[in-house]
Structure 1
């Protein structure tokens, strides 16, 4: 699969989901909700082990390369499982006998399409979006969903504190937490999936910085830092104890369930990271995701 050319779109991702589920009968796809514009949000399930691991990507629109990275990982795991092979030295059939992976490869498809320039000037929201974007027709730096809400500021974990910190009062390209927690269908879908399946560990893929965040206001379990060190040691990413941030998916998961949650800032540079960096980023990220299946 060539990942070095153009932007990784929602339609390309959905096409690949269909191809993979057709090729590998042990990979299942489930609808979990819809975006603001009615595009299906999907989760892919792989494995049959008792530990439930969740990974998601493209919560922020201009971080769409994370969807391509997560889909490549799913493809590699499927191929290794089908042929009884190993990834990063670990037999994949053994990994998937102990863990079940639930992946949501694109949380924010409307925002991704906007950031990739796929919303026409004839769209009824276009003038409003341009205004929210500071008058610019260049949406490549857009992080929010199509209603100008930052989906990673949407979760009920000290949400009011995040609103005060952000200081953004209305829809914008980034940093507006919305009118209330879980106001957006994309955030609702992710929260409902998490409540239903009660994951043991979650990994939220973002860009950029080559860092991973593992804590939240001391709600994290005692061994969370040790697990973060494991993820960092195999990837070269720096585990960071973060403060001054609330209302993210990882934050809410840790507070709500008291289990390990990680935000991974993949790659280095200015968002959106170009696809010609894909291979070098994936080389670092693959062992981290394999290790996450072992946590």
Structure 2
């Protein structure tokens, strides 16, 4: 048996098992799904054991296939890491970086800085995966994650990338003209409130404020729920309700008079956002450059 073919087919098997789909794995490998399916059939015949369970909707590993996946996938990861490490021996900025981040840091903190960086370093490959849920960046093979300082694991190295995060309640003039504005926090319960949802099980409908130095929470009606800050802001701009957002997210709209602030004297402020990575992370020149690019420079 040709060793290189065996190696290539094992790598293809890992991709199929990882994606749980011949179509998605074929896209990643730049081959046709039918050709990939034939390769997996041939691999099973050569090994004389069934590796994959196939249905019309999905693909899953058999017990033997899962064992093979668990033992071979880390080896391919190590090979990829060593190949990426070769960029240490060149003066060129080259390599692939994967970042897992919530929506707001992606738009407000990362993209504005990487725009020019990527234009100046065309051989840098970047994947920014927006995910409002917590993620195990090591298990999911991300180079970096982004979280608030209050949510960081102790076994990670953290680099501050933002100012502190102040929240604010806002509504559009059209909404205020139609329904009026809240006079106090209790009034919020009588308004149409636009709520952010980070996942199907958790909605940010308990808004927090600092009243006379004490944390004060108000549970508001979930009149509209979106798992995207961009949609929450859009709905507020369109006069569909009152919402509670990071002030940096709506600062331009406030200055332009498109959104009106309430309760500014009791806004709560949360810790800054941090870029974090594993302590044993192998840092290539492009990774070091990205860390310095995103590092918060202000006091």
What TM-score results when the alignment is normalised by the length of structure 2? 0.21
User: Which structure has the bigger radius of gyration?
Assistant: 2
**Counting strand residues as a fraction of each chain, which structure ranks higher?**
2
Q: When the two structures are superposed, what TM-score results if normalisation uses the length of structure 1?
A: 0.21
